[in-house]
Amino acid sequence: MSETLSFSQLMLPEPLVRAVTELGYETPSPIQAAAIPKLLAGEDVLGQAQTGTGKTGAFALPLLARLDPAQNDPQILVLAPTRELAIQVAEAFQAYARYMPAFHVLPLYGGQSYTNQLKSLKRGSQVIVGTPGRILDHLDRGTLKLDKLRAIVLDEADEMLRMGFIDDVQTIMDATPKGRQVAMFSATMPAQIRAIAQKHLKNAEEIKIASKTSTVERIKQSYVMLDGNQKLDALTRVLEGEEYDASIVFVRTKSATEEIAEKLGARGYAVACLNGDMNQAHREQTIRRMKASQLDIIVATDVAARGLDVERISLVVNYDIPYDSEAYVHRIGRTGRAGREGKAILFVSPRERRLLRTIEHATKQPIEQMSLPTGQVIEQRRIESFREQLAQTIETQNLSFFQELVTDWREKLETTDVDLAAALLFLAQKDQPLNVAKQFPELRQPHARGEREERPRRERGDRSGERPDRGPRVRREMKGDYNNYRIEVGKEHGVRAGDIVGAIANEANIDSQFIGNIKLFDHFSTVELPANIPAEIFQHLKKVYVRKQKLNISIDTGSSAGNASPNSGGERRSGPGPRPGAAPRAPRKPRD
């Protein structure tokens, strides 16, 4: 069903369709195709589906379509079992609503400052995403009003039952208006969950999506933990350092297929792209070229690669982690064909750890962390490859003409065979130097999951005044200088520091912890960012929009802030980003 539908056919508003298309979603998943029409029609929904099947989009998109943009009171409440999931769901709402004017979503969870939460609640948000303990706190304090609520969602209801939140959930449900819409999603349906559904859902038809995900045999799966702006460098290291016959690189968007293919082509790779804009004839021609060894790498989106069956493919690189675990299985299934062994490598940023765990849970096997190939490994691979080309040339080519030239040059140049061969080798390897170990400095990779694991805790301790243990601090080495940049969006446009952080983190693939202080003025803002932002990312940021304003980012000369009106007052972002020239700071481990 989901393969024949598009998001526009589900009758979603154009701004939402535009957003999901830009995010790389080309067709709805089975749970989305089944749930969206019902929620759009105002019906209650009871969905049973595994984690990683696209549940967030299944409820967020239709509920956003029914939102009243003129009302700034909470209209949608989403309950999630952990703060990590609450953040992820809130980010998804923000991404889907990027073209909805004056939209605000607020995550509420334990460990956050009450002061900041109270300020955000006073400003108003149409969507609240929170953990049961903290939501109940605000209801008890009278700081969260649900009288205008239109819909409530229980996400991962069975997990809330397992963590002991089910009584809090019942209390919250009872505090919501009787006429509100209800959506409940759960991987399993134990008796207590069904009892809640029977009490609170009206004539809800159960949607059950069987998980098709299974363990993929004969495929070695690994992941690399990276900051987003290291991906291209990491990809070239993988393609140089790993043994493979042919490779397919998966990205989320059509534009990324063209961009990555172009950059790999400039580095000398035989590469082409596959995306949904290509007609069938062009697609078939690209596949034929790969089968004939005229191409070694294809950069593709999920939909464009469906049905792709090329035995040469022995390496799959997930340049962008998929949001759907079934998509991951389809991706890595492009290798390991015809009884051959395959290899799948997944690039993961620190903020995508939950997606990695979701994939591991769905595939029922761990994905091991790997280190990127070192400069020494890449150098050795180049030397071996060049030696193989020499051996093949000696064996298959008539070299008599060149042998005469070598004999003649050796005499005229009065040199030795070794020096002449070395000089010829030097000239032959210029486009891809063999002596490169020192030219590949080690990429700093973030810590593995086990070192900074965020473990969900029950939040009742927060309500009783207990201070949860922050855990040991982990120092992350911060390299390079920071610059102060000016962006052309300010208070008069309704911008918040979080809007700026989200836009830069998403569009530039810069981890939010490397985004420093943000100051908001009336007509513009300033933000501290690493000084060594690649030129292509800097140019891309110029075109990014926040609150319908193009960032037009530029180096801040300092004169603009000095000329700002006295009442414009800088608003400083309370984030872990360092100040320029300051010593590196260890980010605090978030509390549950």
Residue 410 and residue 525 share a domain:
no
Give Rg (Cα) of the chain.
27
pLDDT tier, 591 (very low <50, low <70, confident <90, very high otherwise): very low
pLDDT in tens, 326-366: 778 878 888 876 556 789 999 998 888 888 888 888 777 88
Residue 246 and residue 361 share a domain:
yes
pLDDT in tens, 441-478: 555 555 544 333 333 333 333 333 333 332 332 223 33
Of 369-373, 443-447, 498-502, highest mean pLDDT: 369-373
Decide if pLDDT at 565 tops 60.
Answer: no
Residue 383 and residue 434 share a domain:
yes
Which token pair is 27?
Answer: 């067709």
Mean of pLDDT values over 400-429: 87
Say which CATH number the domain at 508 has: 3.30.70.330
In a domain, 36, yes or no: yes
Please list the residues that pair with 527 across neighbouring strands.
485, 518
Res 469: pLDDT = 32
Decide if pLDDT at 251 tops 50.
Answer: yes
Res 581: pLDDT = 38
pTM of the model: 0.48
What is the distance between the alpha carbons of residues 504 and 471, in angstroms, rounded to a whole number?
Answer: 29
In a domain, 469, yes or no: no
Of 280-294, 295-309, 422-436, 534-548, highest mean pLDDT: 280-294
Q: Which of 374, 399, 428 is the last residue of a domain?
A: 374
Between these two residues, 431 and 80, which has the higher pLDDT value? 80
In a domain, 213, yes or no: no
Which token pair is 490?
Answer: 């300010």
Q: Across the chain, what does the average pLDDT equal?
A: 80
Between these two residues, 577 and 250, which has the higher pLDDT value? 250
Percentage of the chain modeled with pLDDT above 70 = 81
Decide if pLDDT at 588 tops 50.
Answer: no
* Backbone region of residue 457 per phi and psi (left: phi > 0; alpha: psi in -120 to 50; beta: other values): beta
Give the total number of structural domains in the chain.
4
Res 2: pLDDT = 41
pLDDT tier, 533 (very low <50, low <70, confident <90, very high otherwise): confident
Return the number of other C-beta atoms located less than 10 Å from residue 145's C-beta.
12
Percentage of the chain modeled with pLDDT above 90 = 29
Res 592: pLDDT = 38
Residue 508 and residue 491 share a domain:
yes
352, 321 contact by CB (below 8 A):
yes
Residue 278 and residue 413 share a domain:
no
Mean of pLDDT values over 42-50: 89
Q: How many helices (H) and strands (E) does the chain have?
A: 21, 20
Maximum Cα–Cα distance across the chain: 98
63, 76 contact by CB (below 8 A):
yes
What is the distance between the alpha carbons of residues 187 and 205, in angstroms, rounded to a whole number?
Answer: 16
Instruction: Determine how β-strand 482-487 pairs with β-strand 45-48.
Output: unpaired
What is the distance between the alpha carbons of residues 156 and 159, in angstroms, rounded to a whole number?
Answer: 5
Task: Give residue 425's domain range.
Answer: 376-438
In a domain, 475, yes or no: no
In a domain, 444, yes or no: no
Residue 193 and residue 99 share a domain:
yes
Residue 432 and residue 389 share a domain:
yes
Mean of pLDDT values over 52-75: 90
Q: Classify residue 125 by burial, with Cβ atoms within 10 Å: 0-12, 13-18, 19+.
A: buried
Decide if pLDDT at 307 tops 90.
Answer: no
pLDDT tier, 582 (very low <50, low <70, confident <90, very high otherwise): very low
In a domain, 137, yes or no: yes
Residue 224, CA distances (Å) to 154, 301, 344, 355, 438 in order: 33, 20, 11, 14, 22
What is the distance between the alpha carbons of residues 137 and 140, in angstroms, rounded to a whole number?
Answer: 5
Res 359: pLDDT = 86
Res 384: pLDDT = 79
Res 217: pLDDT = 62
Cβ contacts of 182 within 8 Å, gap of 6 or more: 44, 45, 151, 152, 153, 154, 200, 201, 202, 204
Res 90: pLDDT = 92
Q: Residue 392 CA to chain centroid, in angstroms? A: 43
pLDDT in tens, 189-223: 888 888 889 889 988 878 988 655 454 667 899 99
Query: Would you state the torsion angle of the CA atoms of residues 54, 57, 63, 68, taken in this order, to the nearest 10 degrees?
Result: 170
pLDDT tier, 230 (very low <50, low <70, confident <90, very high otherwise): confident
Helix (H/G/I), strand (E/B), else coil: 560? helix
Residue 201 and residue 225 share a domain:
no
Between these two residues, 543 and 3, which has the higher pLDDT value? 543
241, 307 contact by CB (below 8 A):
no
* Least reliable range by pLDDT among 108-112, 325-329, 346-350, 379-383: 379-383
Say which CATH number the domain at 363 has: 3.40.50.300
pLDDT tier, 58 (very low <50, low <70, confident <90, very high otherwise): very high
Res 436: pLDDT = 66
Between these two residues, 545 and 409, which has the higher pLDDT value? 409
